[in-house]
Structure 1
Amino acid sequence: MRFAAAIVLAGALAAMVTAARAQDIRPSGFQLPPLAAVTAQTPAKELFGRVTRPSEGPDRSIGFYSNGCLAGGVALPLTGPTWQVMRPGRNRFYGRRKLVTFVERFSRRVASQTSWAGLLIGDMSQPRGGPMLGGHASHQIGLDVDVWLRQMPAQVISMAQRETIMSTVVVSDDKLDVNGYWTPDTLQVIKAAASDPEVERVLVNPAIKKAVCRQARGDRSWLQKVRPNRGHDYHMHVRLGCSPGESSCRPQRDVTPGEGCGRELDYWFTDAVLNPRPAPQPTKPLPPFTVGKMPGACAAVLNAP
């Protein structure tokens, strides 16, 4: 197999810290070591994580959001009039053309309808999608994007600062509700994402979903797309659906009807969920997830020019 050079991550300068968590910061100068050998048992994440360019040809999603790859990926420009890509050294700013177009359209809407100058964009997909070395189970087919819940500043952030600057955690320490960093504009940003016709789901922390349910006024139909999920306290995960007629892309089940503000939301605030007990015995490690376990076309995508 052919692989491109390792990704180099840069970083300097700490900025506004709203929680004592790393948010996936890597040390300055971090570099992926080369693989000594590639076998049928080499984890797929080790291979896809080292590819630095998209494959040639038209863009296509292959497989499922958590088991698939991306052909013909397109890079989101690192800086636009109403968006800036964070953690650029991770090289996870690729997606389908329609995802790039969505980010551009969505960020313009946020800038025109709120006090935010624009959006800070987190991970999308790797150049050829596939599993990542860390941070996500999904984001594999070019249809997912993380959007930070911290407004973009009016000035352009330097590339070095983008590697270490923190997002804003908007969930209280007890995980029961939002905190003082939550604002009416935060609500409007989530609403703008969920109201876009191409968006299939917006994943947020259960405490954020609770606040959205409590504060939404007028037309509440968009609440159906806002789904509670673990984590997601400093960003929202926006997911587009498969393109109509694209048989290579496996869609998710339809979103559950209704606002999702009743008993199904209460579940997330039970003691068993908020304070899960450790397993009585250590979990047996799973066997490596290899390219052979992915859709057949992904091996070709990995080796394509």
Structure 2
Amino acid sequence: MPAHLPLSRLKTSLAAALALATLASPLAAEERPARELFGAQRLPAKMVTSPYGSYARGCIAGAVAIPTDGPTWQAMRLSRNRRWGHPAMIALIERFSQDARSKIGWPGLLLGDISQPRGGPMLNGHASHQVGLDADIWFTPMPDHRMSAAEREALPFTSMLDKSKFLTVDPRRWTETRARLVMMAASYPEVERVFVNPAIKKKLCETWRGDRSALGKVRPIYGHDEHFHIRIKCPEGAAGCKPQAKVPPGDGCDASLAWWFTKEPWAKPKPKKDAKPVKPHFVTLSDLPKACSAVLASDSPASEAEATYRGNGGTSTALAFSAGADDAGLAAGMAMDAAVGLPAIVPIPIPRPIQ
């Protein structure tokens, strides 16, 4: 492997190589960590587009890739191969990027992780982002030039927090335009949640003077001081998609936010006396919706270009895969999922996910 590769790209390449090696092992696919199986996929399942399962335990058939570059966005960390999603998510990103430039003067979006080609658990970095309905957006604006692949791997994150203080926004970095960017993201009807650091949520509660009807969608969570995380609803007609509980009424500037500024969320769990070590459990294919087996086994399109989104002013003209032989197995998997029920998962990001 070339010695000049950036560290982040080197780590991703090694992880992918490990996943490919695991696929060749004699261990049954159902017993391997699902993150290795899905992390090894380079192209989506050539099937009718549909998410299966929940945001934190599922997969997606027929995902499309957002182009690495658009007039108002650039995708980052390309070696991770996580710019895949449901066409509704990709269309929203395009529309949001255009609105952000034309309405608030944001130069353009830098896109973090969306999902893997077939969704599913990731080799590193996230608990969610599994069904193509989540997307990370950097707080760093798009630069005035088209970045090289190397620049996209190496550009550092910029935290919006004053790290010398507890949960405090840095006034030198946090701006009114960034506040407007977050609130614009939350304003779209299809957006269910926008995850930010608790300090950023508190700052919005204290300073936002515009329409506060979407403020309740802005949810505090660990990390998320260098980027924010957009989550959209299960698309209409996506029977296999398990929705998250609705956001509570109100603006969220209440006791639920105050809790983040107590010791409880940050306290280390107290070890139980005489507790035996617990063997880590890795999610396997059998833990996912049955339809995900068909998604994983499906044929791929001929190339990435064939499965790349072709939007036009927010109107999706993304490739829609035709129903075929693969969908017979998918239908059987969906029937089994309906019979046994999908697992009850709380779909929230893990603390400080890697971008």
Residue 8 (structure 2) pairs with residue 25 (structure 1): yes
Distance 1:60 1:77, change over 3 A: same
The one of 80, 86, 89 aligned to 2:76: 86
Corresponding residue for residue 293 of structure 1: 287
- Pairing of 1:39-118 with structure 2 (within 5 A): 39=28, 40-118=30-108
Q: Distance in 2 between matches of 1:72 and 1:245?
A: 15
Q: Distance in 2 between matches of 1:115 and 1:244?
A: 32
Q: Distance in 2 between matches of 1:141 and 1:175?
A: 34
Q: CA RMSD in A?
A: 2.0
Aligned residue-pair number: 286
Deviations 1:40-74 (A, max 9, x none): 32100010000000011221011110110010000
Q: Distance in 2 between matches of 1:199 and 1:144?
A: 10
Corresponding residue for residue 250 of structure 1: 242
Q: Distance in 2 between matches of 1:27 and 1:208?
A: 32
Q: Distance in 2 between matches of 1:102 and 1:113?
A: 16
State the AA in 1 paired with 2:10.
Answer: P
Helix, strand or coil for the counterpart of 1:257?
coil
Distance 1:28 1:278, change over 3 A: closer
Residue 228 of structure 1 deviates from its aligned partner by 0.4
Corresponding residue for residue 272 of structure 1: 264
CA contact (8 A) 1:86 1:121 kept: yes
Distance 1:29 1:195, change over 3 A: closer
Deviations 1:117-146 (A, max 9, x none): 100000000000000011100100010000
Higher CA-based Rg: 2
The structure carrying a bigger helix percent of its residues is 2
Q: Distance in 2 between matches of 1:164 and 1:154?
A: 17
Residue 207 of structure 1 deviates from its aligned partner by 0.3
- Pairing of 1:72-221 with structure 2 (within 5 A): 72-173=62-163, 174-179=165-170, 180-221=172-213
Residue 277 of structure 1 deviates from its aligned partner by 2.6
Helix, strand or coil for the counterpart of 1:25?
helix
Greater RCO (CA < 8 Å, at least 6 residues apart)? 2
Q: Distance in 2 between matches of 1:148 and 1:139?
A: 16
State the AA in 1 paired with 2:168.
Answer: D
State the AA in 1 paired with 2:177.
Answer: D
Helix, strand or coil for the counterpart of 2:110?
strand
Normalising by structure 2, we get a TM-score of 0.77
Helix, strand or coil for the counterpart of 1:202?
strand
Normalising by structure 1, we get a TM-score of 0.89
CA contact (8 A) 1:41 1:288 kept: no
CA contact (8 A) 1:11 1:29 kept: no
State the AA in 1 paired with 2:100.
Answer: V
Structure 2, gaps ≥5 residues long:
300-355
Structure 1, gaps ≥5 residues long:
1-7, 13-23
State the percentage of identical aligned residues.
Answer: 45
Helix, strand or coil for the counterpart of 2:214?
helix
State the AA in 1 paired with 2:13.
Answer: F
Residue 298 (structure 2) pairs with residue 304 (structure 1): yes
Residue 283 of structure 1 deviates from its aligned partner by 5.9
